[in-house]
Every structure is written in C-alpha cells, then in structure tokens.
Amino acid sequence: MTISKPSSSLSRRDALKWMGVAIGASFFPFSSWATDEMGYPIILPDNKKHVRLKKPITAITCGAGARGNVYGNYAIEYPDQLNIVGAAEPIPIRMERYAKKHSIPQENQFVTWEYVFERPKFADAIIITTPDALHYGPCMQALKMGYDVLLEKPISPSE
C-alpha cells in the first residue's frame, strides 16, 4: 500500500498571499458596513436613528495606545459626533502621534492620567483606555469632577 500526499489546489505561496490580503483587509473601516438587527446602518448619517448633535461631544483620552486609538479613530471618522481635546499618555511617541492626529494643544497633553485632573474640567467626557490595572483610579476621579465616563471593562481587575 502506498501513502500519497494529499493534493491541494492552493500552493503555499498562494496561501500566504491570501493570508496577507485577509490581514490587510482587516484594516478597512468595516464600521461603514455595520448594521443593526433590522439591517439599518448603525452610525451612518443616512440612518434614521442617527442623531445630529448641535456640537460634538468633547473628550479626553486616558491612554493613547491601541484601545485609545479605536475611540480616537471613531472621532476622526465621525467628527460631528466626537472631538478628542486632550490626552494622557506616558509613552512620548504615542502621545506625539495621537496629539498630532487630533490637533491636541500642548496644554492638553499629559504624561499620566493624574495630571488631567489637576486642571478644572475642560471636556464633556473621559475615555479611559489605560491598562486594566489602571482603570479604577481615573474613573473615580473623573466621576468626582463631573465628567461622563467611557470605561472599558474591567472596572477593576480585583474585587
């Protein structure tokens, strides 16, 4: 009995090409295709549920890494909905890129979240995208100062 290698119509090179295409496609703004359970666009302006704001919500991002850029990119895509006016980020290159992307003035750029709260309230909301272990502190301070808060889970990694 002879055991033969299964034939495949897809070569290794072609498989790698398709993987590259799939990965590249993941950067396409799929939010433009997002629909609710009835098939209506979720965010797009032609959506019946789309609420036109008199002015965009202003927000400060605490954490300008990958998660912070998710919300930051939303602000870029929907400037009539959200405007990032401040950020706290300890890694200089991240802060530089984020501040440039959102035209954040120097006085609204902070090294850590603690410095944000040394100033009087200057935005509508705080978006907390710090590492999980640093969620509780900025959330409590933001609430004390009267900010609306978008806090990713978990609120705290411990009980």
> Which residue reads 């990032």 in tokens?
84
Residue 4 and residue 42: Cα distance in Å, rounded? Answer: 52
33 residue type, one letter: W
In the prediction, which pLDDT does 111 show? Answer: 97
As a CATH number, domain 57-151 is 3.40.50.720
In the prediction, which pLDDT does 24 show? Answer: 55
Tell me the mean pLDDT in the region 111-125.
Answer: 96
Tell me the mean pLDDT in the region 133-138.
Answer: 90
Q: Report pTM.
A: 0.70
Sheet holding 109-110, edge to edge: 109-110, 82-88, 57-62, 125-128, 148-151
In the prediction, which pLDDT does 38 show? Answer: 67
Confidence at 94, pLDDT banded by 50, 70, 90: very high
Confidence at 158, pLDDT banded by 50, 70, 90: confident
Q: What is the pLDDT of residues 58-84, one digit of tens each?
A: 999 999 988 888 889 889 888 888 999
Confidence at 44, pLDDT banded by 50, 70, 90: low
Tell me the mean pLDDT in the region 121-131.
Answer: 95
